[in-house]
Amino acid sequence: MTIRARMKANSLIPPRTGHSRAISNLRAARNFTTSVRPRASDGDVPQPSSAGASITSSTHLPPGSAVFSGIQPTGMPHLGNYLGALRQWVKIQDEAPQDARLIFSIVDLHAITAPPRDGHGKGEWGAGGGGAAGTLRRYKREALAVLMAVGLSEERCTLFWQSDVPAHSELMWILSCQASTGMLSRMTQWKDKSAKEGAPNQRLGLFSYPVLQAADVLVHGATHVPVGEDQSQHLEFARYTARAFNNAYPLSPSSSPPVLREPTTILSPHKRIMSLTTPTSKMSKSDPQGAKSRISVISSPEHIRKSIRSALTDMQSDRISYDPETRPGVSNLLDIFNSFDKEARTPEVLAEEIEDIRTLKHETAEAVVQGLAGVREKYLDIMERENRKYVDRVAAEGAEKARKSADETMRKVREAVGLGGKCP
């Protein structure tokens, strides 16, 4: 069976991902330095510099910038991933100075923080050919193909699988020796998971997730990191961790640049896309409602139309109004329509121009179908090239470039710590 035939026949497999309160995370990120300032036991860590602790929504980068971001291979990326992250990455690529380094990773080590519940690939991962290992390999390949399909150039960018670059894990261990467990326990996503399932039932990998995320960013000397609201607090933790390391291992002379660079967060300006079945929750690959709750970036026109036609709205009125608080379903469709509208009309303007909910659903669906058509076609082409070996070759070449980028940082880290260099 061809890739195209399988895509038509198979439904999307719901993987694991946690739901988080994105707005509270954003507030926490902006106040992170003062709200979770370390106690005496956390060490004497210098406060952030004005240059290193900034948050911006601008994608205009200065010369010499280095950008890093990643996406978990926990299933096919959906509309929320595309509008909140992937489309922004392409914009950064298109506007970046020629000397900017653009590094985007499929972060498979993060994906295994929630392993399957049994040995047959069932449970949080979902069933897949080859069991859990086969499912992860398939998700990795599909995710990398999506990055290219949305417009990221394998020649302009470094695209790779995280686990192919051991320096990420090595730096994570070194940083974990400086990271504060108190701060990790106050991470919003950890608290949400612990409150829902109980802290004793959680795994160390999930608890230390922000340390690996910090290593991902810092090992490549990233100056800018595009993230969504729900990850902004973790980027503040990365900056804090860089300061802790630089304070613990100062260079001589003191005028030398610190070993680890504090990155700037590029916060996605796009509003969160919510579930089509539960519009008070964000669109998620792990929604228990399954494929009808979301639209993947490679969904067929038929699936897009059917999903939006059955999207939950409300019974308040057949007339359209934009009010995310009282009319989340209608407002979510307006946000989606706005994201693909060629006339760039605001959700409020669209609400005034559209007569009723039926028309809203029809026009939203057609806008999404047109907006994703190119992505779907390019994805199919990429996955069928050389029997998928093309994707593997891009990943291998990207890993080689990523290892060179990471090795430069790790040489300085090892020397600063005493793990490298000549013994006296």
Which CATH code for domain 47-272+387-417?
A: 3.40.50.620
Q: Does the pLDDT value for residue 415 go beyond 90? A: yes
List, by residue range, all CATH 3.40.50.620 domains of the chain.
47-272+387-417
Q: CB 93: neighbour CB atoms within 10 A?
A: 18
Q: Contact 294/80 with Cβ under 8 angstroms? A: yes
Q: Contact 228/22 with Cβ under 8 angstroms? A: yes
Q: CB 399: neighbour CB atoms within 10 A?
A: 19
The runs of H, that is alpha helices, within 120-275 are 131-149, 167-176, 181-185, 188-197, 204-207, 209-218, 232-248
Residues 93-140: tens digit of each pLDDT: 999 999 999 999 999 999 998 765 434 444 444 444 568 899 999 999
Q: Does the pLDDT value for residue 264 go beyond 70? A: yes
Candidate ranges 44-58, 69-83, 225-239; pick with highest mean pLDDT: 69-83
Residues 66-78: tens digit of each pLDDT: 999 999 999 999 9
Q: Does the pLDDT value for residue 177 go beyond 90? A: yes
Residues 229-257: tens digit of each pLDDT: 778 889 999 999 999 999 999 887 766 78
Q: For residue 61, what pLDDT is reported?
A: 92
Cis peptide upstream of residue 253 (ω within 30 degrees of 0): yes
Q: Which residue from 172, 150, 174 is spatially nearest to 162, judged by alpha carbons? A: 172
List, by residue range, all CATH 1.10.240.10 domains of the chain.
290-385
Dihedral over Cα of 128, 129, 131, 136: its sign:
negative
What phi and psi, each to the nearest 5 degrees, are found at residue 264? -95, 135
Instruction: Name the pTM for this structure.
Output: 0.84
Q: For residue 194, what pLDDT is reported?
A: 78
What architecture is domain 290-385?
Answer: Orthogonal Bundle (1.10)
Q: CB 50: neighbour CB atoms within 10 A?
A: 6
Q: CB 418: neighbour CB atoms within 10 A?
A: 9
> Which amino acids are annotated catalytic?
193, 282, 285
Which pairs with CB-CB distance under 8 Å and at least 24 residues apart come from 203-209?
Answer: 203/113, 203/114, 205/112, 205/113, 206/113, 206/114, 208/172, 208/176, 208/179, 208/184, 209/110, 209/113, 209/234
